[in-house]
Structure 1
Amino acid sequence: MDYRSAGVDIDLGRALVKGIQERVARTKVPSSGSSGTLGGIGGFAGLFELPTGYQAPVLVAGTDGVGTKLQIAQQWGQHRGVGIDLVAMCVNDVLTVGAKPLFFLDYIATGKLEPDALLQVIDGILEGCQQAGCELLGGETAEMPGFYPPGEYDLAGFCVGIVEKSAILDGSQVCIGDRLLALPSSGVHSNGYSLVRRIVAEGGWTWDHQPQGWERPLGEVFLTPTRIYVEAVHQLQQAGIEIHGMAHITGGGIPENLPRCLAPTQAARLTPHSWRIPREFSWLQEQGQVETDEMFRTFNLGVGYVLVVPPDVQERVQSLLPEAQAIGEVVAAEAGEHPVRVLGLENWGSL
């Protein structure tokens, strides 16, 4: 007996690492010399030189995965997008405290190495890192026969960013009357896919089904990668625009995520129908007969990221980011109500 007969192919794993090294070398952005990776992919650990120019630098870390959206990628045979998702879910979280993403690490676990699929994932991770302006510092690929069925894999991502201590957004900056500006999502992003898959399965649909009036089949629509908001926020920071808070709208939707950047005595009042809700959400609601309140608690409904800004900078933000939509304002939490309640949803009606 040998390791290969037990299901682990060391030679194939070495070839996969070589393929990753070549991809990283082709996509690496030259460092200015003040910061960046030291060494390359393939060692026991990754090294990163911290950037200069900070008086009291604070490191910010985040970790996440892609969830059951991976099952659609594996059934559809398209894997690049979930690599972007993996980066997006981490860097967008780190961004909310005002941090600049520095580097990213990935963990890929599978029952049997499928180099073509996994290199597609790596290509997506590298594309996501480029969009976020960070480095792929390293990662781990674990082949675990008998633990995962052949052809299946799972992903985890880890991002580290940096922020000046005095510039950390912690909720204390948000004021009553601040405006809520939404940056659109690219679709469902990477949350709520257990419900998406159930609706599709119980409706008797397949991922290659194309609903009437749609330009793409379900598989392509629901594999649209999560949008990365680093460049948009960077534009505002470079322009010196004051930002009081930011929220990444992930699992739990707007009601669970928006209050995370507010004070306990504050709430968010949303203006009903103040932004465009992509049609895939209306399709999911109709096909699954999902209540509107449940849609809000499960999906982003077209809002991927929320900026909390003073009223007097709203126009400047929208001139730099024309896609930013005013969706409401910060108000005082009502007496007797839970402080994290998002007001206005009871007046929404259907999507």
Structure 2
Amino acid sequence: MTNKHSASLTYRDAGVDIDAGEALVDRIKPLAAKTMRAGVMAGIGGFGALFEVPRHLKEPVLVSGTDGVGTKLRLAFEWNRHDTVGIDLVAMSVNDILVQGAEPLYFLDYFACGKLSVDTAASVVGGIAKGCELAACALIGGETAEMPGMYPDGEYDLAGFAVGAVEKSRIIDGKSIAVGDAVLGLASSGAHSNGFSLLRKILTHANARPGQELAGRPLEDVVMAPTRIYVKSVLAALAEHGSAIKGLAHITGGGLLDNVPRILQPGLSARLHRDAWTMPELFTWLQQNGGVADAEMHRVFNCGIGMVIVVPANQVDAVTATLTAHGEQVSHLGEIVEQEGTAAPQTVVI
């Protein structure tokens, strides 16, 4: 019962605009529709999204991954660059499940803000839809949360969740990797979505401006380049070369040093040759302006390599040819060697 001596309060008075939320859903639906694929039974708009497990798999195993975009979002706010962070969001999860041989099936997103800007949110979700198209997975659902007092005006947070499937007999677990196998690297599109706390500190230290030139482009374009999605090319290589691909590592937080050992068995290490690939100008600029040591660069950033693939030495040319035909820039980074002593697997860059 309302108090006759006071105005009747509404959810809008409390800071939540239901109409804006409904307007955003209307903007999202055609974006999501472009990502639909076989298996989708019910998507945007329901309480839950339905997806049928692919029938061609005899023993399907579901593989899931979740991630965010990290402090790269701070630059999105400061530079008003909202159109590509959605691609980053999708990439971080689909690339993760890809390394176990899974084909991404569908994706859900979570967008949280203090006050909902339909235009900003639609721009972000447009990037998410684009990422899903690049990964050939369906944007099947999500959640938009307007929470007054939780976030400053103009800021938001993102989280994403991807589900894929792989035939049980074709799961890639790295257990067959052996001494003498070759380590290949697929070029990254930039810093992807990792190391941005250090990256932003270097930008501040160097008094860098978003419009200044780096590698022939505006700095903001180089820094905000979306994470490369490796799904289509790697799935093509898996289809053609099968068990020749023994291991895959997505180079995310922890860089080259911490991610490659995750797929190695005890007694093995990866030896990479620093002259096997050219570090892109962005990373050279960051290292010079931040005075960052080589080991720190290799542990924080991808340094130009976004995905690592381990194959038998006699399959290097064949696998490289397939990946190159599907648009990847491939480098032969090094080889798998016997780990000295009893220490855990590691990556050594020489």
Question: How far did residue 28 of structure 1 move?
Answer: 3.5
Structure 2 residue aligned with 1:6: 14
Contact 1:317/1:324 (CA < 8 Å) preserved in 2?
no
Q: Which runs of 4+ in 1 moved over 6 A?
A: none
Deviations 1:47-97 (A, max 9, x none): 001111212111000000000101111211121210000000000000011
1:21 maps onto 2:32 in alignment = no
Contact 1:110/1:153 (CA < 8 Å) preserved in 2?
yes
3-state secondary structure, aligned to 1:28: coil
Structure 2 residue aligned with 1:288: 290
Which among 134, 147, 150 is matched to residue 147 of structure 1?
150
CA distance in 2, matches of 1:195, 1:13: 35
Question: How far did residue 30 of structure 1 move?
Answer: 5.2
Structure 2 residue aligned with 1:219: 220
CA distance in 1, matches of 2:83, 2:10: 33
Structure 1 residue aligned with 2:306: 304
RMSD of aligned Cα (Å): 1.2
Contact 1:256/1:340 (CA < 8 Å) preserved in 2?
no
Question: How far did residue 29 of structure 1 move?
Answer: 4.1
Structure 2 residue aligned with 1:326: 332
Letter in 1 for 2:205: E
Letter in 2 for 1:108: F
TM-score, scaled to structure 1: 0.93
Structure 2 residue aligned with 1:270: 272
CA distance in 2, matches of 1:194, 1:163: 35
Letter in 2 for 1:238: A
Structure 1 residue aligned with 2:180: 177
Deviations 1:283-310 (A, max 9, x none): 0011111111111110000000011011
Structure 1 residue aligned with 2:209: 206
Question: How far did residue 238 of structure 1 move?
Answer: 2.2
CA distance in 2, matches of 1:298, 1:272: 16
3-state secondary structure, aligned to 1:75: helix
Deviations 1:248-296 (A, max 9, x none): 0001101100011111221001112101210010100111111111111
CA distance in 1, matches of 2:319, 2:313: 10
3-state secondary structure, aligned to 2:183: strand
CA distance in 1, matches of 2:170, 2:322: 21
CA distance in 2, matches of 1:122, 1:222: 20
TM-score, scaled to structure 2: 0.94
Letter in 2 for 1:312: N
> What stretches of structure 2 of length at least 5 have no aligned partner?
1-8
CA distance in 2, matches of 1:324, 1:311: 15
Change beyond 3 A, Cα 1:126–1:210: same
Question: How far did residue 206 of structure 1 move?
Answer: 2.5
Structure 1 residue aligned with 2:231: 230
